[in-house]
């Protein structure tokens, strides 16, 4: 059984759906309160309703570019169907968001298995405070549940707290952590981690990196060096560069995504802290604008609250 199949088997459980619904509560409440106001006193979807809807989407952190695409699609449907009742707007909006996301992200997790490479190397990037180390710990827990041998590399050597936090997660989920003293060369930690993973026959390596956006050139050089050193041990490593973004930062998450995608070859996203914010619309906007698959979403604080992102389930939950 591939990792995706394992995840789906777990994620289809009622408690996972319940966690997703609960995690999106704040976004749903804000979103639908705004939509209710947008259509108040209107019986059909006219220009004013569409203008109001545009404002709702933008203020829900869907982003201007994605909002305009959605509004254009709804306008086309309205003109084709001539008369649309405002009560149908929610269904229409849900359909168009689902269509947009499915068109924009053909590279979905469904075609993905960790078993293609051994060890499979994930380099995790993102600014401090977005839940990077917590995401690593929760992902390591999921992988271990799938009977995969996992090792973590503490390459954020600029903050003692980051190394200590990763070690705590390692103890909590029962996976090995490779670390060096604070201030060590991050590339050296990554090299040691991969070398020991190969020697121990481990399946997945997850490398934590420093969350500094001090300047793009510095970040690019640092991540480039880590990649080069890892490739001496495992050619083509890292197989995945996972960018972690905090949903509660709203438009700031878009800017971070822009900076990191310019600095390195990000090919997967994890969007955290959806349960603590009304800004869940960022998932829709970022997924659309950057054409990078959102692989994981964080919908709560419990160890099992990191979920595989399923576009259809996410949008259905949002519109429940």
Task: List, as one string, the DSSP characters of 169-216.
Answer: HHHHHT-EEE---TT--HHHHHHHHHHHHHHHT-SEEEEE-----S-H
273: annotated binding-site residue?
yes
160: annotated binding-site residue?
no
CA distances from 57 to 40, 67, 234, 256, 279 (A): 16, 6, 44, 20, 10
129: annotated binding-site residue?
yes
159: annotated binding-site residue?
no
d(CA 254, CA 31): 19
- Which residue would you say has higher pLDDT here, 5 or 204? 204
pLDDT (tens digit per residue) in 6-47: 455 455 567 888 999 999 999 888 888 888 888 888 888 888
DSSP letter at 292 equals -
Structure tokens at 173: 């989920």
CA distances from 304 to 53, 279, 301 (A): 35, 22, 8
* Range of lowest pLDDT (27-36, 37-46, 107-116, 188-197): 107-116
Chain length of the chain: 320
Are the beta carbons of 86 and 269 closer than 8 angstroms?
A: no
Structure tokens at 229: 């050193």
Going by C-alpha positions, the residue among 98, 80, 130, 77 that lies closest to residue 242 is 130
Are the beta carbons of 233 and 121 closer than 8 angstroms?
A: no
Statement: residue 151 has pLDDT above 50 = yes
2: annotated binding-site residue?
no
**156 — pLDDT class (breaks 50, 70, 90):** very high
211: annotated binding-site residue?
yes
275: annotated binding-site residue?
yes
208: annotated binding-site residue?
yes
Going by C-alpha positions, the residue among 29, 20, 203, 217 that lies closest to residue 116 is 203
167: annotated binding-site residue?
no
276: annotated binding-site residue?
no
- A 10 A CB-CB count for 128 gives 15
DSSP letter at 125 equals E
pTM: 0.91
pLDDT value at position 110?
47
Are the beta carbons of 98 and 315 closer than 8 angstroms?
A: yes
133: annotated binding-site residue?
yes
95: annotated binding-site residue?
no
Q: What angle separates helix 25-38 from helix 311-318, to the nearest 10 degrees?
A: 60
Rounded to the nearest 5°, which phi and psi values hold at 240? Answer: -140, 130
CA distances from 222 to 33, 124, 238, 246 (A): 45, 13, 14, 22
| High-pLDDT (> 90) share of the chain, % | 52
Are the beta carbons of 317 and 283 closer than 8 angstroms?
A: no
200: annotated binding-site residue?
no
């Amino acid at each position: 059984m591939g990792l995706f199949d394992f995840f789906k088997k777990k994620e289809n459980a009622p408690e996972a759906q319940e966690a997703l619904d609960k995690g999106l509560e704040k976004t749903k409440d804000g979103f639908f309160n705004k939509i209710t106001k947008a259509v108040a006193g209107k019986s059909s979807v006219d220009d004013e309703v569409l203008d109001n809807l545009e404002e709702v989407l933008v203020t829900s952190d869907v982003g201007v570019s994605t909002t305009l695409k959605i509004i254009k699609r709804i306008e086309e449907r309205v003109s084709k169907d001539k008369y649309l009742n405002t009560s149908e707007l929610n269904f229409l909006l849900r359909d168009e968001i689902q269509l947009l996301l499915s068109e924009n992200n053909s590279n979905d997790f469904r075609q993905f298995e960790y078993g293609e490479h051994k060890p499979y190397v994930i380099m995790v990037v993102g600014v401090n405070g977005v839940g990077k180390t917590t995401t690593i710990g929760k992902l390591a827990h999921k992988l271990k549940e799938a009977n995969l041998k996992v090792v973590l590399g503490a390459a954020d050597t600029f903050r003692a707290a980051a190394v200590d936090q990763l070690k705590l997660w390692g103890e909590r989920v029962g996976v090995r952590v490779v670390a060096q003293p604070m201030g060590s060369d991050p590339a050296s930690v990554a090299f040691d981690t991969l070398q020991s993973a190969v020697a121990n026959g481990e399946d997945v390596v997850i490398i934590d990196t420093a969350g500094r956006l001090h300047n793009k050139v510095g970040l690019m050089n640092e991540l480039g060096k880590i990649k080069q050193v890892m490739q001496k041990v495992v050619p083509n490593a890292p197989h995945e560069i996972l960018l972690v973004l905090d949903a509660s930062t709203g438009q700031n998450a878009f800017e971070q995504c822009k900076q990191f995608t310019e600095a390195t070859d990000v090919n997967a996203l994890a969007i955290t802290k959806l349960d603590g914010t009304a800004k869940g619309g960022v998932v829709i906007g970022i997924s659309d604008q950057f054409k990078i698959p959102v692989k994981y979403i964080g919908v709560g604080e419990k160890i099992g609250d990191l979920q595989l992102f399923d576009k259809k389930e996410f949008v259905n939950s949002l519109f429940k």
